[in-house]
Structure 1
């Protein structure tokens, strides 16, 4: 008898799960139905800011595999189909056609929940006014591009995280005066404040106005109902466009309503194989992957919600492998992420000081300045590296980098060291590549590790 796999969500995690299951099980053995409420599948949401900024030619460039390509591979992809409920007793998903409103129920033997995350919208007056845009999907990006008008002069970005700073760059590339309003002490709260201030200062040097401790009170509108300014507790900032960069939360309404287990951060809790399991036999055959799930932080040992496309693709692949009869696990993450705003590169992995405090670590920190190439080589530019190490053991706990000229990808060395649970003394001995166009004799990562080791010896 043919089994049916229903996948809720057709982007990174869902499409990966469906594709991997199909590679291992043919249509005579497994029917695969993918429910996607939007118009696209398998696209890079991370690329939307660069498309909006004019660095990417169009939406098609961000699509890794269109619905038609998935269908050619034996997946029943149903666009405009929104899942509205999961009945674990009847093994059915309630579905609504977003265009016609027609309702249907689809039975399943296996189920993958890949519902992603939803943008956080500040609960202030005017937040839904015309001229306010999120940038979660390709349709969001298209709507913002369509709204751009040569007469516009001012854009306000609410939020100074990854999406916020990337959209600030996009608006600047479009020729607008840009103000970023962030409620934190510094932009990029995924960094410690002493590193975030470097981002703040250099964004200001680029001509982007960054306002911290900004308590947004309202999006003000004109007589036509369209946005004209964003008001904080201190003043109003003129705006022809407002872009939301206030982060996301896991989209787990379906899972919660079905009684599936959620973790402390609100994400779906799975095991290493991406199975949803809360001790209830009805959970058998239910899987989850992507931005809707929690992940194990391999450094702190805690579960966290870290919505990144890298994780989503890997988790979807693991779920699909297991559904297909193979064996795979997703062991966890160390929290590696990179971003940029204009020429400035920003990277982090592992724990911040606040994370280390919350996890109960006693630690030392080291901050160094170096260059990405030999100092005498043309084009060498400064970068700042911060390293956190556990007191006594010397175990590396986290690294942050702010700089230019290839600074960000140096974080990968630190990510590998964290995964391997190396000490900072171990890191100082790494045999990293050297030539003047690529690095000083002592790579910045090695310099930071050496300084951290010295701090440990003094503590």
Structure 2
């Protein structure tokens, strides 16, 4: 008799796990019945692509779907859309589900349970946050709602929050011809960067015509007589808006896990082992934006909601659930973004992170160019690098610059992964030609200067 696997969540982690479990189990003659539940309309889609859909760079929503429900069904997965899991009984081994299309409710038994419930947007808890014209940007349905709102030809937009989604949506709306203001309660945009590099992002955005108001706390959203948003009121002023986008971050969507009594970490994410099992709960697994991951640099557990991790974790989970043996080795918090022609990247620890983790860190910031300085089109880039004073071990790096800057962060991420010292990084055999780099790559320049100080 087939084992029933119930997967809650139909995006990256959940469907990667489901597909991989079927492949691995099939190769060993094991029979699985996999049922995947999702309360939305789409499976296996790129939420990261929503700002570029809004900007007009890519088609959506179908263009952002890697694998539609019917494709998963052809691969042997019983995909049930518009179906929400509302309760889990771990002792009884059932999930209570609601069919939002047909209106039915049932208890679905399981032998193995995979929670891949993702993350939920953090909305300001202030009056008017639910007004028409105020949008989170987490799902394709959210993106579709923004596109439809833009069809009413709004003129002024306010983006609340200056993290990755905030700055990307600010670019998208600017390119759609709207006057855009970004408001954030932090001192500088992009709090995953140190404030000195965040200031570079701030200045560049203002140079692009985007208003940036930092240190501003949202107090309420004012509405018109028809209930649509009219303005965003902060303690630093009032900003008129025909559309508001929330880029205030996300938190793990773990209410189902919490109510079932599963262990959660400090961030609220599900705590899992390196095989993506939930410790102490046989047959219960979790992956993706709803879990905490082990940070290989700080040695702590962190919530890093990125599609890169979700897909890898889903594959590891599916391998193990299907009878194989695999491990998810952790993260170093690598991320990359852009706003117009400004590229932004980071990996590892910033100065505050390093101090909190107990490191005695040395930080050096260097200015360089994306190509040889004499080559046409050479553009500025700033690299900040941190190392442990006693050992010279690389702890983190941040890059802000023009085209050709940001992907250099991958060299730093690989060095972090392998616990390299900055002196060794400075002497690595990186490629060189004048159209691509100075003779000393900017990453090597930064590493050499840090090495001189440790």
TM-score if structure 1 supplies the norm length? 0.97
Work out whether 1:179 is the aligned partner of 2:181.
yes
- CA displacement, residues 197-221 of structure 1 (integer Å, 9 cap, x when unaligned): 0000000000000000011101111
Aligned-pair CA distance for 1:416: 0.4
Q: What's the counterpart of residue 375 of structure 2?
A: 377
Q: What's the counterpart of residue 273 of structure 2?
A: 271
Aligned-pair CA distance for 1:168: 0.3
- CA displacement, residues 320-366 of structure 1 (integer Å, 9 cap, x when unaligned): 00011111100100000000000000000000111011101111111
Q: Give me the whole-angstrom Cα distance separating, in 2, the residues matched to 1:363 and 1:323.
A: 41
Query: 1:380·1:405 contact (CA, 8 Å) conserved in 2?
Result: no
Query: 1:82·1:96 contact (CA, 8 Å) conserved in 2?
Result: yes
The unaligned stretches of length 5 or more in structure 1 are none
Q: Give me the whole-angstrom Cα distance separating, in 2, the residues matched to 1:385 and 1:276.
A: 39
Q: What's the counterpart of residue 396 of structure 2?
A: 398
Of 4-13 and 220-229, more deviation after overlay is shown by 220-229
Q: What's the counterpart of residue 238 of structure 1?
A: 240
Q: Give me the whole-angstrom Cα distance separating, in 2, the residues matched to 1:347 and 1:116.
A: 23
Choose from 58, 61, 64 the match for 1:62: 64
Q: What's the counterpart of residue 340 of structure 1?
A: 338
Q: What's the counterpart of residue 25 of structure 2?
A: 25
Q: Give me the whole-angstrom Cα distance separating, in 2, the residues matched to 1:102 and 1:358.
A: 50
Q: How does 1:225-304 map to 2 (within 5 A)?
A: 225-277=227-279, 279=280, 283-304=281-302
Aligned-pair CA distance for 1:260: 0.6
Q: What's the counterpart of residue 200 of structure 2?
A: 198
Choose from 199, 217, 230 the match for 2:219: 217
SS in 2 for 1:265: coil
Aligned-pair CA distance for 1:151: 3.8
Q: What's the counterpart of residue 16 of structure 2?
A: 16
Query: 1:124·1:217 contact (CA, 8 Å) conserved in 2?
Result: yes
Q: Which runs of 4+ in 1 moved over 4 A?
A: none
- CA displacement, residues 228-251 of structure 1 (integer Å, 9 cap, x when unaligned): 100011321010000000000001
SS in 2 for 1:228: strand
SS in 1 for 2:120: strand
- CA displacement, residues 383-424 of structure 1 (integer Å, 9 cap, x when unaligned): 000000111111100000000121110000000000100011
Q: Give me the whole-angstrom Cα distance separating, in 2, the residues matched to 1:100 and 1:59.
A: 24
SS in 2 for 1:47: helix
Aligned-pair CA distance for 1:75: 0.4
SS in 2 for 1:427: helix
Q: Give me the whole-angstrom Cα distance separating, in 2, the residues matched to 1:80 and 1:274.
A: 26
Choose from 384, 387, 404 the match for 2:385: 387
SS in 2 for 1:136: coil
Q: Give me the whole-angstrom Cα distance separating, in 2, the residues matched to 1:274 and 1:248.
A: 21
TM-score if structure 2 supplies the norm length? 0.98
Q: What's the counterpart of residue 411 of structure 2?
A: 413
Q: How does 1:438-449 map to 2 (within 5 A)?
A: 438-449=436-447
- CA displacement, residues 91-141 of structure 1 (integer Å, 9 cap, x when unaligned): 001100123432111111111100000000000110000010111000100
Aligned-pair CA distance for 1:173: 0.9
SS in 1 for 2:453: helix
Q: Give me the whole-angstrom Cα distance separating, in 1, the residues matched to 2:381 and 2:363.
A: 17
SS in 2 for 1:104: strand
Aligned-pair CA distance for 1:58: 2.2
Aligned-pair CA distance for 1:150: 5.7
